Amino acid sequence: MWPRSADELVRVQRALASAAPPPWRPGERPAVGACVVTFPRGRTGPGAAGDPAWAAATLVRGRRVLADAVVRGEAAAPYVPGLLALREGPVLEAAVRGLSVAPDVLLVDATGRDHPRRAGLALQLGSILALPTVGVTHRPLLADGPWPDDARAARSPLLLDEEHVGAWLRTRPGTRPLAVHAGWRTDVDAAVEVVLAATGRHRTPEPFRQARRLARSARGA
């Protein structure tokens, strides 16, 4: 069950931050999943509980799409930094559970250890689904670090209170790097390896591109 209040979520996050699940390492050609959620276009502000939501999940191995799923639901809360799980967690879980094949690892549009309590949505979703997860965002939440060199696979550390919680990763020269986050059962090295393996000629990992296309199509672009 997902927490239904901020106080309950904070307690769960603190417990997850101290958990020690067995570490996961990517094997050869892992099946990489991704999940995203979209909300109605044209709205501003943090949103509200009950906002319509369209979530999609996709599973890709190499360039081949193995499975996908789309669900329509509702946001359970407005957006509050550090409490994203209240708003998006349940609908993202539903989309991933809709896949006919389970991912080896799941990419989540959220942070993991880069979080005030070291347990962002990417980490929490992995614990609920019992899947290794990696967070991928356009910018860090709290962590900081210099950008890497302008070459594919160049990386630089993202630090939070001197803890290595993620990395800037350049997936394509001449474009902004992605913030890659350790999640459930993954460390920073595993997270970077997964993202590079799932990224082709575009800046964004292919599973994310496919899932975002599905979610936007279900919403009506």
Instruction: Give the tens place of pLDDT for each residue, 74-121.
Output: 999 999 999 999 999 999 999 999 999 999 999 999 999 999 999 999
Q: Mean pLDDT, to the nearest integer, of 206-210?
A: 96
Q: Does residue 205 surpass a pLDDT of 90? A: yes
Q: Mean pLDDT, to the nearest integer, of 141-170?
A: 98
Q: Does residue 11 surpass a pLDDT of 80? A: yes
pLDDT tens, residue by residue, 28-70: 899 999 999 999 987 778 899 999 999 999 999 988 999 999 9
Of the candidates 204, 1, 186, 185, the one whose C-alpha atom is nearest the C-alpha of residue 93 is 1
Q: Mean pLDDT, to the nearest integer, of 123-148?
A: 98
Q: Does residue 151 surpass a pLDDT of 90? A: yes
- In this prediction, what percent of the chain has a pLDDT beyond 70? 100
Query: Is 73:55 a contact under the CB 8 Å cutoff?
Result: yes
Query: Is 24:186 a contact under the CB 8 Å cutoff?
Result: yes
Domains (range + CATH), the chain: 6-16+28-219 (3.30.2170.10)
pLDDT of amino acid 46 = 87
**Mean pLDDT computed over every residue of the chain:** 96
CA distance linking residue 206 with residue 202, whole number of Å: 8
The whole-model pTM stands at 0.96
pLDDT of amino acid 42 = 79
CA distance linking residue 4 with residue 77, whole number of Å: 9
Spacing of C-alpha 172 from chain mean position: 19
For residue 108 the two structure tokens come to 């989540």
Count Cβ atoms within 10 A of the Cβ of residue 146 and give its class: 0-12 exposed, 13-18 middle, 19 or more buried.
exposed
pLDDT of amino acid 171 = 97
